[in-house]
Amino acid sequence: MRHLIDFTDLSEREWEHLYRRFEEIIEHPGDYRDALKGQTLASLFYEPSTRTRLSFEAAMLKLGGGVFGFSDPAASSVSKGETLKDTIIMTSAYADVLTLRHPREGAALAASLYAAVPVINAGDGGHCHPTQTLTDLVTLRRLRGSVDGLRIAVCGDLKYGRTAHSLLRALSRFEGISAVLVSAPELSLPEYVTCPRMPLYKQPDLRAVIGEVDVLYMTRVQRERFRDPAEYERLKDRYTLTPEILRDAPEDLLIMHPLPRAGEIDEAVDSDSRAVYFEQARFGMFARMALLLELCSLPPFAVKATGTPGVHRCNNPNCITKTEPCLPVFEGSVCRYCEHLSP
């Protein structure tokens, strides 16, 4: 692994190693106080974030490293029209590792082609979010002892929810997992999110599945990805988890959510011992410390693409290839950047 674009970039051995490191850090955080002294993280957030950005920044500071970057692209040269390519070339000259959140699908892969240091995808449009998945998996393993054998329901916005995409794909690499997809038909999982070997069931009725699963993973309807605000209004309140619905749920259910929530978990659920979403977010910082330690120990490497203008064929209007002029063109029926079908 040089960059983390999606969770499946990690081998099984790398995941094992990261989990062990996460446990060591959480047990003995003081041992890591100076582990990345003298190294710097560039935190490039082109989209709003609370947990992901702050937990990355806290992780780097707790490892003794430094952080710089922007959380509002309007305050950087992006507002003057600078391309992602130029921003990445420059910041990778100043930092030892980059973390990037961007509204366009495929932006992290694009950035990794121009970076001389590791790029971590902190969310690329409605596509992937591997460090949330890392957070989710360490939470599952820490609280259940293992990820294998899990029965999970993933509920909410499966169409635009990048956390759901990365999580489902990652889970399909474990043993004996079954997943129930709970969503409105308009917000169902895109075809490109394939989960080999893992049975996926669809059940739009949350009450019908709540008694049958070990984990309920709730997600927010992603307002910012809708082209039609009326469509968002129509779909946003389809699912609300309440104490009343939870009456039929197992006593050892884990209720997870990447957060932020926008009404899909009633606040009365917070005092239920099965609600672990705040603990999940806390684990996220330790998981990111483990990841930064790994990536910052890599030797320097060569940039893969210098870039010449080319014609990209991609059906997705929100693909990074629509705004980044010099990305390498890949042949094939699926766009290499955002994974949507090419015409």
Residue 307 in the binding site for ligand NCD (CB under 6 A): no
Residue 162 or 236: the one with the smaller Cβ distance to ligand NCD is: 162
Residue 62 in the binding site for ligand NCD (CB under 6 A): no
Residue 103 in the binding site for ligand NCD (CB under 6 A): no
- Of 81, 238, 88, 86, nearest in space to 159 by CA: 238
Residue 257 or 312: the one with the smaller Cβ distance to ligand NCD is: 257
- Of 230, 224, 302, 296, nearest in space to 260 by CA: 224
Residue 157 or 324: the one with the smaller Cβ distance to ligand NCD is: 157
Residue 163 in the binding site for ligand NCD (CB under 6 A): yes
Region near ligand NCD per CB under 6 A, out of 57-65, 83-91, 110-118, 258-266: 258-266
Q: Helices 277-295 & 51-62, crossing angle to 10 degrees? A: 50
Count residues near ligand NCD (CB under 6 A): 11
Q: How far is the CB of 200 from ligand NCD (least distance, A)?
A: 21
Choose, by CB under 6 A, the member of 51, 223, 274, 282 that binds ligand NCD: 51
Strands 151-155 and 178-182: parallel
Distance in angstroms (rounded) separating the CA atoms of residues 203 and 219: 16
DSSP character at residue 128: B
Choose, by CB under 6 A, the member of 62, 104, 129, 169 that binds ligand NCD: 129
Q: How far is the CB of 49 from ligand NCD (least distance, A)?
A: 6
The tokens of 242 are what? 């309440």
Region near ligand NCD per CB under 6 A, out of 17-25, 182-190, 209-217, 257-265: 257-265
Choose, by CB under 6 A, the member of 40, 83, 132, 133 that binds ligand NCD: 132
Residue 162 in the binding site for ligand NCD (CB under 6 A): yes
Q: How far is the CB of 93 from ligand NCD (least distance, A)?
A: 27
Q: How far is the CB of 132 from ligand NCD (least distance, A)?
A: 5
Residue 17 in the binding site for ligand NCD (CB under 6 A): no
Choose, by CB under 6 A, the member of 69, 106, 123, 130 that binds ligand NCD: 123
Residue 282 in the binding site for ligand NCD (CB under 6 A): no
Choose, by CB under 6 A, the member of 39, 52, 71, 316 that binds ligand NCD: 52
Annotate 14-28 with b (16+ C-beta within 10 A) or e (fewer). Answer: ebeebbebbeebbee
The footprint of ligand NCD on residues 211-250 (CB under 6 A) is 220
Choose, by CB under 6 A, the member of 65, 258, 265, 307 that binds ligand NCD: 258
The residue ranges that bind ligand NCD (CB under 6 A) are 51-52, 123, 129, 132, 162-163, 220, 258-260
